[in-house]
Amino acid sequence: MIENNVPHVGSPVRIVVVGAGNRARTYMHYVKANPGKAKLVAVVEPDKVRRDFLADQFGIPEEMRFCNCKEVFSLPRLAEAAVICSPEKLHYDHCMLAIEAGYHILLEKPIAQTLQECEEIARKADEKRLRVSVCHVLRHHPLFAKIKELIDSGKYGDIISISHMEEVGIDRYTHSFVRGTMNRERDNNPMLLAKCCHDLDFLLWIVDARCRKVSSFGSLRWFREENAPAGSALRCVDCQVEGECPYSAIDLYKRRRDWIGSFIPAPGEMIDDVIDRELKEGRFGRCVYRCDNDVVDNQVVAIEMDNGMLISLIINAFTQCDCRNIEIKMTLGEISCYGDMIKARHFRSREISAFDFSHLGKIPHHGGADMAVIGNFIDSLLNPELPLISPLKMAIESHHVIFEAERSRHTGKTIKFKTND
């Protein structure tokens, strides 16, 4: 899909990055590796340590380091593109400011927090003839692209139904959605939007149909104070049963040293200092049963498409693996994907084709897909004929289904979409 027929942009595409956290640092690996195509010229980040950490790597002068978006987007345009990686609830404001100032945008998911906001961004981008690409990384991942290729080949016929299981992984869940900053709907977003907008986007991308009806159920069932075991305390460091707790912060961060990528040492500090500080007084040392979280830990979404196809999506936090399992039932065969392995079975020939993507586990940045996300955005600016793989308007369609699924979860009603039939 060619999103807004934009004038040619010369290389390298100059970039302003907004929010110098994990995602921005990831995308800037692409910039470092492709100096002929992209150049970081300014960093917007309120946290001085993070701002300087990124800016120093690119030799960004002091006057191009900003604390907030208003400062940078009220200046005459400094660059052609903005890469927006700020916290989710700020995306709408940051995106509108950047579009108003004339920047093409690579926008981290989710787009915004309501359908109206998403549509306003699209209207404004159209008005200014700017491109907005949403970082729906599955579209750029070889495994998910292979599933689409198999479906599009026609060999397996038409899709009858899809069961899609998002296995969040217990470590990711406790880190981000219980202790971390994505743990409250009001402060961030519902789990379905924050985590599973990728899944809904993927599902709508592979099917040639539109949503007719959606229903959803879900709750925060386990990570609540009434489930705290006897002997537990407000923090893992004070807990008498920490040694047997599967959700221990000491085990996760200090012993296994997992999920410490967002712990950034201040100058003169070591990573162990940050881990110890978090365990003693930070949000990541808290008991999982005694946090201020309210996002769901289990949810189901049922969708009927306008051609009768049925889709079920299950989000489950209680999994050791952090992966997606998919079963696609089709008229001439079936395609399944468990973790890294796709199998396609053809009914008449009895042929089974297997595709192993386990080698991608060793490639950083989502198997290289993150580099493809920013690569497609930059290439589409350098060559306006090149379509965006994840254009804003397609992402709005999947966000719409999510907003309605959440409405269903809260009201107990099945939500019907306006369709042509």
Ligand X SMILES: NC(=O)c1ccc[n+]([C@@H]2O[C@H](COP(=O)([O-])OP(=O)(O)OC[C@H]3O[C@@H](n4cnc5c(N)ncnc54)[C@H](O)[C@@H]3O)[C@@H](O)[C@H]2O)c1
- Work out how close the CB of 287 gets to ligand X at its nearest, in angstroms, rounded to a whole number: 22
Regarding 166 and contact with ligand X (CB under 6 A), the answer is no
Please identify, using beta-carbon distances, which residue of 159 and 371 lies nearer to ligand X: 371
Q: 366, 139 in Cβ contact below 8 A? A: no
- The answer to whether residue 20 forms part of the interface with ligand X (CB under 6 A) is yes
> Is 64 an interacting residue with respect to ligand X (CB under 6 A)?
no
Contact predicate 392/106, CB 8 Å:
no
User: Of the candidates 113, 162, 164, which has an alpha carbon nearest to the alpha carbon of residue 307?
Assistant: 162
CA 157 centroid distance within chain: 30
Taking CB under 6 A as the criterion, the residue among 14, 65, 104, 109 binding ligand X is 109
Strand order of the β-sheet with 310-316 is 352-356, 341-346, 333-338, 323-330, 159-167, 310-316, 298-305, 211-219, 415-416
Contact between 69 and ligand X by CB under 6 A: the answer reads yes
Is position 137 an interface residue for ligand X (rule: CB under 6 A)?
yes
Residue 130 touches ligand X, criterion: CB under 6 A:
no
Q: Which is nearer to ligand X, 42 or 301 (CB)?
A: 42
Does 402 sit near ligand X (CB under 6 A)? no
Q: Which stretch binds ligand X (CB under 6 A): 87-95, 162-170, 385-393, 397-405?
A: 87-95
Is 201 a residue that touches ligand X (CB under 6 A)? no
Residue 298 main-chain phi, psi, to 5 deg = -155, 140
Q: CB of residue 141 vs ligand X: minimum separation in angstroms?
A: 10
- Long-range residue pairs from 51-58, CB within 8 A, at least 24 positions apart, any chain: 51/20, 53/20, 53/264, 54/17, 54/20, 54/24, 54/25, 54/28, 55/20, 57/28, 57/32, 58/28, 58/31, 58/32
57 touching ligand X, by CB under 6 A: no
Number of residues located near ligand X, criterion CB under 6 A: 24
Of 12, 27, 45, 288, the residue at the interface with ligand X (CB under 6 A) is: 45
Among 58, 64, 87, 329, binds ligand X (CB under 6 A): 87
Give yes or no for residue 71 binding ligand X (CB under 6 A): no
Q: Does 22 bind ligand X (CB under 6 A)?
A: yes
Q: Which of residues 249-268 bind ligand X (CB under 6 A)?
A: 262
Cα distances from 289 to residues 137, 178, 284, 304, in angstroms, run 32, 9, 13, 36
Which residue number has the CB closest to ligand X? 21
Task: Tell me the residue ranges of DSSP E strands in 74-155.
Answer: 81-84, 104-107, 132-134
412: its two tokens: 């107990």
> What size, in residues, is the chain?
421
Which stretches of the chain bind ligand X, using CB under 6 A?
18-23, 44-47, 50, 68-69, 85-88, 90, 108-109, 135, 137, 194, 262
